[in-house]
């Protein structure tokens, strides 16, 4: 779907531009929710439900953009400043949902 040129011109150059519900979004969301851990591709596949063969390709594209990092078999959320606010927002949203469901115990 095309967008108007004025909208195109208004998008900040450093915006993540990851569409909600896409495979990159789901992987980033999962890694951001667990930003203190690293995971294998199989573990990411099992946690997100993304096809095993697609996980590696998505991770590679995200790594090219500096959004994830890996060592050996393990992958983690990147250290990009844009991701710090994304992870904080994701974690806050998860905490809010949990509080709404379970109360303030």
**Does 100 map to a domain?**
no
Q: Does 104 reside within a domain? A: no
Residue 63's closest CA among 73, 52, 77?
Answer: 77
Q: Answer whether 79's CB lies under 8 Å from 65's CB.
A: no
The verdict on residue 75 lying in a domain is: yes
Give the Cα separation of 64 and 59 in Å (integer): 9
Q: Look at residue 98 and tell me if it is in a domain.
A: no
Output 91 or 96, whichever has higher pLDDT: 91
Instruction: Specify the number of domains making up the chain.
Output: 1
Residue 10 lies in a domain: no
- Residue-number span of the structural domain to which 86 is assigned: 19-93
Instruction: Output the pLDDT for position 79.
Output: 85
The pTM of this model reads 0.68
- Cβ atoms of 69 and 76 closer than 8 Å: yes
CATH number of 44's domain: 1.10.10.10
pLDDT digits (tens, 9 = 90+) for 69-88: 999 999 999 987 666 655 55
């Amino acid at each position: 779907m095309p967008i108007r040129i004025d909208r195109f011109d208004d998008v900040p150059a450093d915006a993540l531009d990851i569409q909600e519900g896409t495979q990159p979004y789901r992987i980033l969301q999962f890694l951001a929710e667990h930003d203190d851990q690293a995971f294998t591709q199989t573990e990411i596949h099992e946690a997100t439900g993304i096809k095993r063969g697609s996980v590696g390709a998505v991770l590679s594209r995200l790594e090219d953009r500096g959004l994830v990092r890996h060592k050996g078999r393990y992958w983690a959320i990147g250290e990009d400043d844009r991701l710090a606010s994304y992870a904080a927002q994701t974690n806050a949203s998860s905490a809010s949902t949990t509080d709404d469901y379970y109360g303030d115990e």
